[in-house]
Amino acid sequence: MRSDALLASRLGFVRSGFAVRLAVFFGLWLWFAKVIVGRSLAQDKSGDEQLTHKQVGTSIAFLMVFALSYSFFAVDSIMALEPHFFSTIFGVYCFAGLFQATMATMILTILYLKKKGMLQGFVDENHLHDLGKFLFAFTVFWAYIAFSQFMLIWYANLPEETFFFMPRLNSGWVFVSIFLLLFKFVVPFLALLPRWAKRTPSHLAAVSVLILIMQFVDLYWLVYPAYNEEHAVFNVPELGGMALFGGLFLFAVTRFLSRNQVVPAKDPRIHESLHHHVVY
């Protein structure tokens, strides 16, 4: 440790501030969620348009806070596993994968609620088309950021950067890298390219499930080589941990939706959504 000047210089930042930053980030996210969702629920009951207008400023503030805090969170929780690694685009890479998975989750949730009749008459193929376009756009954006990070590191050929990709391009991890490229970008890109694909619920659902699976593979690809550079093994504890958090997420979402209205009937802009049309 003492002979490694770079690691020693970063040790204080990682050790002393990690828990504090983690608490601050989650505290901010929970506070914004409470304020934004609370106002939305209050507006559903009262119909007060001022509550909707107040959401604009709060939402803009949250976007800025989340963009910065999630980038720091990605560096703290994943990039810190390999503290010698440099990449100024790492936070954006993690955010791109997060948003792609978020769009896939949103599509699956909406399709499920629509199937149950809770969104009947409120969501049609035009809404699905726009969601499919967002999913397509962030599939391309994720690939663009992934390529940008790799290309810059590849042609610079600096040891403090290239060592991150070396195990991922050799031994057993090279197959995971190829698998990630094919099924997180190439297949979803081609599958979402036609217009009909973005307006077909079963097709959108299948692509969304694939993207969520590949998001897990992507996180595994980011984390696990720090512990085992030679072999790519998907163990039960990792799969169980993801299943646990996924189950808690589904429980929280279904519990919330069972206690509140799914459709904001008193929202002043709901008529715009009901008359939404896509012509391209």
Q: How confident is the model at residue 161 (pLDDT cuts 50, 70, 90)?
A: confident
Q: Say what the pLDDT of residue 1 is.
A: 46
pLDDT in tens, 232-271: 877 788 788 888 998 999 999 999 988 888 888 888 888 8
Q: How confident is the model at residue 121 (pLDDT cuts 50, 70, 90)?
A: confident
Report the percentage of the chain scoring pLDDT > 70.
94
Query: For the chain, first and last CA: distance in Å?
Result: 59
Q: Say what the pLDDT of residue 6 is.
A: 67
Q: Say what the pLDDT of residue 267 is.
A: 83
Let me know the angle formed at the C-alpha of 166 by 236 and 137, rounded to the nearest 5 degrees: 75
At residue 35, does pLDDT exceed 90? yes
Could you tell me the pTM of the whole model? 0.89
Region 180-209 average pLDDT: 96
Report the percentage of the chain scoring pLDDT > 90.
51
Position with higher pLDDT, 194 vs 159: 194
30, 67, 125, 164, 234 from 25: Cα distances, Å: 9, 11, 37, 26, 29
At residue 184, does pLDDT exceed 90? yes
Q: How confident is the model at residue 222 (pLDDT cuts 50, 70, 90)?
A: very high
Q: How confident is the model at residue 14 (pLDDT cuts 50, 70, 90)?
A: low
Mean pLDDT of the chain: 88
Domains in the chain: boundaries: 1-77, 86-274
Region 198-215 average pLDDT: 96
CB of 49 closer than 8 Å to CB of 56: no
At residue 2, does pLDDT exceed 90? no
Q: How confident is the model at residue 107 (pLDDT cuts 50, 70, 90)?
A: very high
At residue 34, does pLDDT exceed 50? yes
43, 103, 105, 125, 195 from 279: Cα distances, Å: 32, 21, 25, 12, 11
Nearest to 40 by CA among 268, 274, 254, 252: 268
Q: Which residues contact 67 (CB under 8 A, 6 or more apart)?
A: 95
